[in-house]
Structure 1
């Protein structure tokens, strides 16, 4: 809704500017007298705006003569003609707004659900796939928009501006979906791990179970989920999953100082500090799921790993609390 509302405000601002143009040229005002712009607006602005799609503009409607707002002397465009021109202009604006809203609505629908599914599936090529989808669907929407604009007689500059807005709209849809998915990543990681862990165990029941391998495979997929959603990578740059793994698995005493190397400066959805915190908390949450399935030797290795995670989590919490306290003077407790 906010995107549409902003667009309506933008269109209305253009309409106001065009109304000012018509007022200025409607009369020669060298003597300093004549109508005011406010009176001129009241003459033209009778009825709903062009952005109200439920209203049908009728350029042939009878023109009322309630007020004589344009001087007879020095008049270039009569009040009747001004109203007719404005009515015709608003019909034109309404047609453009309707077309643009329809095309952008279709682009939103063709991108929204597929992008969500790609982000949730979390593969090495997720962002490359999303970028390909964005480019393909934006080109298709742009072709549809250009075809619809043929009968609306717009100059080349105006068409280019509308196409540019359409391109930005498509990207905004992708970024909005990514932000929504980033907000629920912790819960989805735990759900994915539980499902994968139970599925792998059931498959291995008829043969010797390598629980450690099953755990690592499930952890790898969850780490990939976090990496995919940590930043928007439509421009093809940013960190790799290998560097990201090093960020999360580099031991309890590591201090986060490689942010600029590992996460995109622009497009970051989850900061490196927050990624580590999410990962450590996730490991603590899956610990009760893993432990019962481990034998003595595997349990020893797992407990040693979790001990490091617990120390790292405590260190990260202390560092985060200290940073917030130094910055704001407000103590923070986890």
Structure 2
């Protein structure tokens, strides 16, 4: 009998896993749900398991992989920054992810954050809530069609966001060393070097995965290249943006605002970026729709089934991939 341990994280739906695995796996499958959240909890809960379906808050370290005899680790999301992929490969453990379950949702959320900040919706709502009715509460606001929007990384989510933004008439530029200029041009986007993007863009959306190369890449120098009407949106991972540098830029009035679905620490404890009238913060919810959650769980379960059946899963992560 195969044993599968699911994180008790709310994104993960045990009933969907049971449905898919009962139908697709050639042997009986035992499914357990456990509170993970730490390497220690993972080792304790998943001893003897064939598969673990993990969440963003559980580090799947070399230590854990050495202690467990896993066949597959499923990251129930797009990113795998909490999993030691190289250590997994060395142990013969397959790592999978679900790269496209929420492409439309995250793209739409990123555009929503951008427009909310550009149109000063939070300031207007606060003013009306406090009894005001003042169009000047949101000043200054600039016309979207007169702006340039930059994309830090230009994978499927940023590409979808570019399609959505194309109707607003803004100029679009992107930095991504792994995407060629002609592919960007198909989305009406011009390829730019990293510093060039921040020099040219009025507003910047961050879509990069968290790796050693991207950690803190949007730093004080990059933010200094923006102007006082600029908005920074981050829907990737909190640490891709230097939080101290972003706070300094906001405090100094060097940029207009920030739309953040991710933070350096989640959930936040006394994060000074939360509660400001120039920031809109959402609880790492850009991925969410009912349809996306169903896709996430069915795809993850299908990957578990594939490995248990001796097949190559669709979401397998190549340990030698350039973006890791």
TM-score (norm 2): 0.24
The structure that is helix-richer by fraction is 1
Larger radius of gyration: 1
The structure that is strand-richer by fraction is 2
TM-score (norm 1): 0.23
Specify which structure has the bigger relative contact order, considering alpha-carbon pairs within 8 angstroms and separated by 6 or more residues: 2
